[in-house]
């Protein structure tokens, strides 16, 4: 019997620790491990290699993914899914562990409905926007990258009496933005889930500027598409010279934090144990209230993640 692991979609810190634990734990159980390179594209093109300890030695601290990833349009054509399944059959691979996000799980949902494929998904996206789980692999590292950048930007903002707008990633989910605002002491946070009411904030900040405030830090989620609007509003209404920093893909990189390494450890073990004991897995490992459990892939991909109420309320508590 053999299992394979694949990364699909955007990379996330913590993927390499999960890959290492996948290989090491399978070895302990007497199960052969295969690495699928280049995501779903590699699955189609048969870039599948039997793993050894040498392949995963020394990767625990590395960001990104040693087996690389991709987004695949071809996989949504039936003939290429047939090809992918035949590649798995040829190597007697009975189960897949899929490190990815919503798009990856949608692809697997289609794949498993057509072929006898057992898989367990591990939520791996810095956006933290997968339904059914409180935590996705890579989020803690991304937040620490953002925190480090915000601390440095605040230093220069206060030195030059400027306003800084920092745009963070997250697609249509404001998780990274609101948590970053909470831990950085930002004065403004703009996310897709909450309407930005400038008149309320404007009066407060004008009074603070009158009383001596000389800089502002604003966190804007990319999904809000309001970075330019907030820039113009601060300059025109608050009168502060304003700069924009778009953090971009540095948020996906960096050494995985302790927490992401621990979560990768637990996610991988749970995924393998489930595959090893079920013939019809097709699940996603989810983390809720300090416990790991499993959710049907159909439920995960057909439902929309929503920010917990406490994060939505937190915006009202910013200074």
Ordered DSSP codes for 50-90: E--HHHHTT-TT--S-TT-----SGGGSHHHHHHHHHHHHH
Please work out, in degrees rounded to the nearest 5, the angle formed at the alpha carbon of residue 106 by the alpha carbons of 101 and 110. 150
Residues 182-186 have a mean pLDDT of 95
Residues 113, 85: contact at Cβ < 8 Å?
A: no
Res. 68: pLDDT tops 90: yes
200 pLDDT band, cuts 50/70/90, is: confident
CATH code of the region 2-138+256-303: 3.40.50.450
Catalytic residue among 38, 102, 127, 129: 127
Quote the CA–CA distance of 116 and 94 in Å, as a whole number. 9
Residues 227-240 have a mean pLDDT of 95
pLDDT at 115: 95
CA dihedral 296→293→290→103, nearest 10 degrees, is: -40
88: left (phi over 0), alpha (psi -120 to 50) or beta: alpha
Can 127 be counted among the known catalytic residues? yes
pLDDT in tens, 258-294: 999 999 999 999 999 999 999 887 999 999 999 999 9
Q: What is the pTM of this model?
A: 0.95
Res. 13: pLDDT tops 80: yes
Res. 319: pLDDT tops 70: no
For the chain, the structural domain boundaries read 2-138+256-303, 140-252
Tell me: domain 140-252, CATH 3.40.630.30, correct?
Answer: no
């Amino acid at each position: 019997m053999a299992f394979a692991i694949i990364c699909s979609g955007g990379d996330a810190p913590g993927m390499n620790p999960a890959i290492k634990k996948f290989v090491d734990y399978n070895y302990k159980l007497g199960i052969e491990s295969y690495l699928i390179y280049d995501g779903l594209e590699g699955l189609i093109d048969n870039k599948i290699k039997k793993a050894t300890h040498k392949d995963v030695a020394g990767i625990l601290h590395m960001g990104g993914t040693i087996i690389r990833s991709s987004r695949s349009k071809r996989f949504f054509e039936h003939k290429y899914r047939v090809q992918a399944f035949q590649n798995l059959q040829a190597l007697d691979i009975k189960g897949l562990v899929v490190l990815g996000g919503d798009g990856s799980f949608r692809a697997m949902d289609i794949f498993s409905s057509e072929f006898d494929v057992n898989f367990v998904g591990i939520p791996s996206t810095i956006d933290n926007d997968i339904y059914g789980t409180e935590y996705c692999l890579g989020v803690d590292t991304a937040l620490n990258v953002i925190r480090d950048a915000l601390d440095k930007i605040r230093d220069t903002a206060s030195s030059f009496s400027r306003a800084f707008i920092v745009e963070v990633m997250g697609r249509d989910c404001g998780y990274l933005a609101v948590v970053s605002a909470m831990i950085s002491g930002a004065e403004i946070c703009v996310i897709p889930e909450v309407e930005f009411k400038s008149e309320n904030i404007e009066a407060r900040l004008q009074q603070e500027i009158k009383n001596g405030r000389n800089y502002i830090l604003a966190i804007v989620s990319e999904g809000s598409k309001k970075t330019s609007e907030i820039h113009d509003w601060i300059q025109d209404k608050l009168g502060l010279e304003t700069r924009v920093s778009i953090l971009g893909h540095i948020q996906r990189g960096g050494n995985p934090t302790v927490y992401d390494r621990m979560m990768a450890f637990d996610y991988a073990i749970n995924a393998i144990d489930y595959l090893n004991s079920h013939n019809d897995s097709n699940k996603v490992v989810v983390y809720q209230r300090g416990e790991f459990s499993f959710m049907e892939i159909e439920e995960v991909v057909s439902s929309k993640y929503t920010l917990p109420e406490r994060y939505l309320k937190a915006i009202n508590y910013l200074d």
